[in-house]
Structure 1
């Protein structure tokens, strides 16, 4: 069994546990597609971290096929920070904090990310300065997000957005005495109702488009249209590892439907911002 290297920063990825999107996460095609993205995008972004003092727990359904249990076991052995945790679908995540966390003056940071997103190479380094009591029970968010959509074989769209609280690497500063997972904050767009939010500067994360819904589309903002090679260079200049986005499915542009979906998102965000003008934020470098 792999020896666990405890660290003060712990991440969670709900990889194959049932969610609220009506997706069968154990469907063979879905498993194959998602595994390829995870290995080539999400995992690679953590392998490239300049500060490797962290752990990540992958939350899996206990019903995950043995073929994939074997694949994830291999990834776990190859990556010292990666750990698999199998739970019943009726259970919430078992963080098993004691096994993975080494506190820094009784303080730790707990974060989450989806299994098809990525963070910049300095993500852990950005979180580390907040391992102090002054930031206890604060949420850490990096608003600058890049969304990637593959529209043709070697044609990609990249759009940069500024999203105050997004799910990519969203983190909570917590303590040994009363450890709380970022999951306790609820849906990411509502974390400010429970905790004050600290906004960090710089690149925050990459969101990949793999489906069609109002939350998984590009916005009204301008896009960069480029080849895979151009995209890799652009992202590298922004502080990311070098990714091979050929693992993404082709999602062609659909002009009239995209306009409708973007309109829905625009209206929803206007309503959200109007109802939440009294949010407490602290912006730091």
Structure 2
């Protein structure tokens, strides 16, 4: 079954952000701010990419949507970082309505719309476990009857880490939270044009059945200076330095190396 992931990388959409701007030019200035882009690239390189490179099931696509106005140095840097990941395709789009563009991108990537597919969305500063794709595909065998009876079904892995990442390394807290973007997938029946971008991630359970797996940690959500979502709840989390055991788990579950993280985030 085809597995399609969608990640926007500083795409200047109309809508789609909780931080609002009056014009597209204002949004571009915010998204392409040098400090912000540098942080996104460092998180993307040290947190996001390692787990996708190491997926135990390599049969998936990750569509990275960028604006056709992304500054050339950033465009070149993104291509350089991703050129070794065969599943990644970078797609340039002009600014438009956020959900409209993302739905079009996902549906255009379907190889056969008569066949069902699995979809997920991903933020460019988060990580998924290295068996995320494998476990998404396992659901089609685990829950065959439920999938056959519903046009769409959510797949939620609600265990993961909230983390801050910088030149000192990673500080994290293990949590259980439902319907976090990084831990959420969706099954779509054949002939349906619905996509995971038709639904608000934390309200998807109002529109379809959702299968929840609460076992192994399946994602890392990074907390940083340019998070789009409000951080009031996250500011109360007690994050701690990774222990030696934690470091081994981060390597085993996410292919994230603490020393590499420090090196990337301390580069001048």
Which deviates more from structure 2 when the two are superposed, residues 211-220 or residues 176-185?
211-220
1:29 aligns with 2:43: no
- Give me the TM-score of the superposition, normalised by structure 1: 0.73
Following superposition, the deviation at residue 74 of structure 1 comes to 3.5
SS at match of 1:116: coil
Contact between 2:6 and 2:106, CA under 8 Å: does it hold in 1? no
Q: Secondary structure at the match of 1:236?
A: helix
Does 2:110 match 1:91?
A: no
What's the C-alpha RMSD, in Å, of the aligned pairs? Answer: 2.8
1:10 aligns with 2:27: no
Partner of 2:24: none
Query: Please, what TM-score do these two structures have when normalized by structure 2?
Result: 0.77
- Paired residues, number: 238
Take 2:139 and 2:242, find their aligned partners in 1: how far apart are those partners?
37
1:38 to 27, 39, 44: 44
Q: Select between 191-200 and 46-55 the one with higher mean Cα deviation.
A: 191-200
Q: Indicate the residue corresponding to 2:124 in structure 1.
A: 115
Question: Is residue 168 of structure 2 the alignment partner of residue 154 of structure 1?
Answer: yes
Partner residue of 2:181? Answer: 167
**Which structure is higher in helix share?**
2
Q: How big is the shift at 1:122?
A: 0.5
Name the residue aligned to 2:18. Answer: 20
The verdict on how the C-alpha distance between 1:90 and 1:137 changes in structure 2, with shifts beyond 3 A counting, is same
C-alpha separation in 1, matches of 2:265 and 2:173: 16
Which residue number corresponds to residue 278 of structure 1?
Answer: none
Q: Describe the shift of the 1:103–1:87 C-alpha distance in structure 2 as closer, same or farther (beyond 3 A).
A: same
Work out whether 1:183 is the aligned partner of 2:197. Answer: yes
Query: 1:101 offset after TM fit, Å?
Result: 3.2
Q: Distance in 2 between matches of 1:8 and 1:158?
A: 33
**Structure 2 residue matching 1:138: 3-state secondary structure:** strand
Give 1:32 shift: 2.0
Give the Cα separation in 2 of the matches to 1:205 and 1:183. Answer: 19
Name the SS for the 1:171 alignment partner. Answer: strand
Aligned to 1:106: 115
Separation (CA, whole Å) in 1 of partners of 2:97 and 2:145: 31
Distance 1:115-1:150 versus aligned 2 partners, 3 A rule: closer
The 3-state SS of whatever aligns with 1:11 is strand
Q: Residues 36 and 141 (structure 1 numbering): CA distance in 2 closer, same or farther, change over 3 Å?
A: same
- Larger RCO (CA within 8 A; separation ≥ 6): 2
Q: Secondary structure at the match of 2:254?
A: coil
The aligned counterpart of 2:231 is 214
